[in-house]
Amino acid sequence: MPSDLFMRLLRPLGRAYLGRRYEVHLHEADHVPRRGPCILACNHIGWLDGPLLSAYAPRPVHALTKREMFVGATGRLLLATGQIPLERAEPDPGAVLTCLATLGAGRVVAVFPEGSRGDGELAMVQPGTAYLGMVTGAPIVPVVMFGTRAPGGHLESVPPPGSRFDVVYGAPVYLERQPWPRTKAQVRRTGAELRLRLLDHLERAKARTGLTLPGPVPTAAVKEER
């Protein structure tokens, strides 16, 4: 199970750095339970989504992060702060077991259920988030990011200093805990139901803030990411 000690030490530094560089607004963060297992399910529009969530979430977060990031100094930092490597191209039972152990210890796991950065509109939601909720019974808190990628920006783009970021939390979603064996059909069906709940929160977040998402990623950037 990943350690959270180094993450706890770095979170204040991350908040201080991001807070000096950007205007960060948090909405309804009290939806995150103060203790016990929790899954944060966040849309994914920009490179800064992960760092922003790690620094500003009410509790330390272990985020599923694409395995390609775990190289060099960046990889060492991710491992030291308790982030979880994920192989996106195929099923990754090791990542699933790590998430289950982390949730079993009463910690917070963050998932970007779209699978990769994009327009953030949740057109497709991978079933893994629903699976974790079905197995553990942990509440799934929807999270919507605004501002971490400017309209027309490429996947690696970072908004200029002074930009405003809004992080909007939603009411927890509780899925019915499913005993083993859990069929693929059950997971897909529950995943589809969860997507509707995430979409509902996305629309509420837009209405609450008056903000919009940045739109499609430029085609060349999409090809590069894949």
Q: Write the CB contacts of 90 (distance below 8 Å, at least 6 apart in sequence).
A: none
Mark residue 196 as left, alpha or beta (left: phi above 0; alpha: psi -120 to 50; beta: remaining). Answer: alpha
Give the whole-angstrom CA distance, residue 3 versus residue 174: 26
pLDDT at 223: 47
Mean pLDDT per block of 10 residues along the chain (226 residues) reads 85 96 98 97 96 96 94 92 90 93 97 94 95 96 97 90 98 90 90 97 97 86 49
Give the whole-angstrom CA distance, residue 18 versus residue 36: 27
Q: What's at 140, amino acid-wise? A: I
pLDDT at 178: 84
Give the whole-angstrom CA distance, residue 134 versus residue 17: 37
β pairing state of 164-169 and 61-66: unpaired
Give the whole-angstrom CA distance, residue 14 versus residue 139: 26
Give per-residue burial for 162-193: e unless 16+ CB within 10 Å, then b. Answer: ebebbbbbbebbebeebeeeeeeebbeebbee
pLDDT at 187: 93
**CB-CB neighbours of 27 under 10 Å:** 17
Please give the DSSP secondary-structure letter assigned to residue 173: B
pTM for this entry: 0.93
Q: Kindly compute the dihedral angle of the four CA atoms of residues 203, 207, 209, 213, in this order, to the nearest 10 degrees.
A: 40
Residue 175 three-state SS: coil
Decide: 183 and 44 in contact? Cβ < 8 Å.
no
Question: Cα dist. 75→113, 132, 139 in Å?
Answer: 21, 25, 29
pLDDT at 155: 86
pLDDT at 225: 54
